[in-house]
Amino acid sequence: MELPVRHQSGRGGHPGYHRWCDVRLERVVEGLCARRGDGFADVVNRGVAVSEGRVFVGTIDGRLIALSTKTGRQLWSTLTIDPTRAYSITGAPRVFNNKVIIGNAGSEYDVRGYVSAYDVATGKRIWRFYTVPGNPSAAPDGEASDSILNKLARPTWYGNWYEHGGGGSVWDSIVFDPQLNRVYLGVGNGTPWNRKVRSEGKGDNLFIASIVGLDADTGAYRWHFQMSPGDSWDFDACQNMILATLPIQGAPKSVLMQASKNGFFYVIDRNTGTLISAKNFVPQNWTDGIDPVSGRPRMHSDVFYEKPTLMMPGGIGGHSWHPMAFSPRTGLVYIPAQELPLNYANDGRFEYHPKAWNTAIDMSAFTPPDDAAARKALRALAKGELIAWDPVAQKEVWRAAHDHFWNGGVLATAGNLLFQGEGGGEFRAYRADNGRALWSFKAPSGIVAAPASYAHGGRQYVAVLSGWGGLVLNTAAQAEQRRAPPGRVLVFALDGKAILPASNSDNLPPANPPDEVFTAEQVETGANQYARNCAVCHGWGAMGGDIVPDLRRSSALSTPLQWKAIVSEGALAGAGMIGFKRYLSPSEVEATRAYVSHQASLLREETERSTTK
């Protein structure tokens, strides 16, 4: 039996891959979807932490909860956020030295990012570190971040960023380094994305889009490395970080590795926070590379999009939160990568809406064309791949191209195997050293999670969540994805005997365009308001994805009063759809109905064409 490892030394062990060529489904568990009664699109949870009889979980409404691993009984619960602001928790807590640490999400809303460390036994807060400076005329926070924010970060910000929080949320990756007794934070984008609005178009805006190293006991600052200075592209540095010892110029070195959203693979000296090397792992057009001394990207002059600019990577990133893996056995890092450009354009009419989505980018530029063939061409631009990367030589060793741009996290085992799911639902095993495909299983819906492996009773299992989530699945590239069946946990073993239940997921209601005539002006106004306020959850072009309804098929579309009750008054607030009365006038609400009706007509025409063929 090969014991599974994700990042540990691969000593001993025989090649186990040949046995896993014949892996079978062992167990199927149906999952549930959480809901949140506020305007937040990304209703997800990236995991729990377990330590000494306690399991720790962050909730979408900002609580951190400790449960007994034996009984599930709640041991303590603490509110980690200010509930009057649009904070949420989507990341997993981490445990170290009798502390549990959690960050938060919401850097498109009205938040100021921070992490908090709590006592595992009592839930009492021990320290907090803010990632961006607060109001310069207010009193200091009285937290571990006070002095470094004042000294280093505040001089890199301009204007009134603090009125909207500034962003910089630590929404996913946090790593504990036992060797140096530190924690490293992956810090997200600023609020709003566009620096022109956020910080008068100036400054690095520390510590957004950075990795920050802190003392694990006190939260005191140790170093930072900013991947994307003055980030205006949603280039969060929240991707997972792998700590390893690599041979650098012939000597072993303690490093931190990240395949960052901005398209570059970074190897950083984790003692000092200085750059060892950086190289792009996906095509990129925004820099002439990374300066080896300063570590700063040599950015092109048009990247702050005074004129509309198509950038690669786009805001989805060359790699997002899907965990990459490192195999000490092969010395390679395995990156779930994607290629998806984004058209950035300054939004001259931007208004700040604290409970809605704020980028200060013209979101209508993301709207896919009405024409089905043009949409198909757009989707063809989007690619997903598994890349095996040599972190010492900074070069690709092999890659596996996927049918789907969005792919799941990676598991590397001591048996020279990799497991990875894909957005299209394939769950595959590869040889880690040369990328040869060994096995695959077609899951009932897309896979975005990372697999896990464990042994019980002398038997090895591989488990993965199948199911869609995340706002990206509603983007233009994803527009034709049909509704997926419920999320499932799939567990595999060599001699598994489970059978996947039949899925009845394809019974979507038909397009429901009302029998009314809207003016072209209404449709255009509606298109703009829809792109600004609705698209991030309900899909660009009103092409809905999975966890939120496809509005083109909604019965409310033909009933103006019902549409108004939902969109304006918040009749479905309990299900997560807030009312937009404070942001949209009655005629704008009606215009969104006109636009969605127009899109519903297109869908009906398309469906009729395809069924009469």
Instruction: Catalog residues that contact Ca ion under the rule CB under 5 A.
Output: 188-189, 234, 236
Q: Which residues contact 192 (CB under 8 A, 6 or more apart)?
A: 108, 164, 167, 198, 350, 352, 358, 359, 360, 361
Work out how close the CB of 360 gets to Ca ion at its nearest, in angstroms, rounded to a whole number: 14
With beta carbons less than 8 A apart as the criterion, state whether 509 and 553 touch: yes
* Count of positions (residues) in the chain: 613
With beta carbons less than 8 A apart as the criterion, state whether 40 and 84 touch: no
Work out how close the CB of 169 gets to Ca ion at its nearest, in angstroms, rounded to a whole number: 8
Work out how close the CB of 132 gets to Ca ion at its nearest, in angstroms, rounded to a whole number: 14
Closer residue to Ca ion in complex, CB, 314/544: 314
Provide the annotated active-site residues: 234
Token pair for residue 257? 């590795």
| 3-class SS of residue 105 | strand
Work out how close the CB of 74 gets to Ca ion at its nearest, in angstroms, rounded to a whole number: 31
Closer residue to Ca ion in complex, CB, 40/461: 40
With beta carbons less than 8 A apart as the criterion, state whether 113 and 188 touch: yes
What is the DSSP track for 401-416? EESSS-EEEEEE-TTS
d(CA 436, CA 17): 11
What is the DSSP track for 181-194? TEEEEE---BSSS-
Work out how close the CB of 311 gets to Ca ion at its nearest, in angstroms, rounded to a whole number: 15
Q: What count of other Cβ atoms lies within 10 Å of the Cβ of residue 250?
A: 6
Closer residue to Ca ion in complex, CB, 26/236: 236
Which of 464, 489, 479, 476 shows the shortest CA–CA distance to 546? 479
Work out how close the CB of 508 gets to Ca ion at its nearest, in angstroms, rounded to a whole number: 30
Ranges of H-type helices in 430-475: none
Partners of 464 in the β-ladder = 490
The amino acid occupying position 356 is: A
CA quadruple 603, 608, 611, 613: dihedral, nearest 10: -110
Closer residue to Ca ion in complex, CB, 236/550: 236
Closer residue to Ca ion in complex, CB, 319/488: 319
Cα distances (Å, whole numbers) of residue 289 to 25, 209, 229, 279, 297: 45, 17, 14, 7, 6
Closer residue to Ca ion in complex, CB, 189/599: 189
Work out how close the CB of 7 gets to Ca ion at its nearest, in angstroms, rounded to a whole number: 25
Q: What angle do CA 74, 79, 81 make, to 5 degrees?
A: 150
With beta carbons less than 8 A apart as the criterion, state whether 365 and 345 touch: yes
Token pair for residue 468? 């869609």
Closer residue to Ca ion in complex, CB, 284/558: 284
| 3-class SS of residue 586 | helix
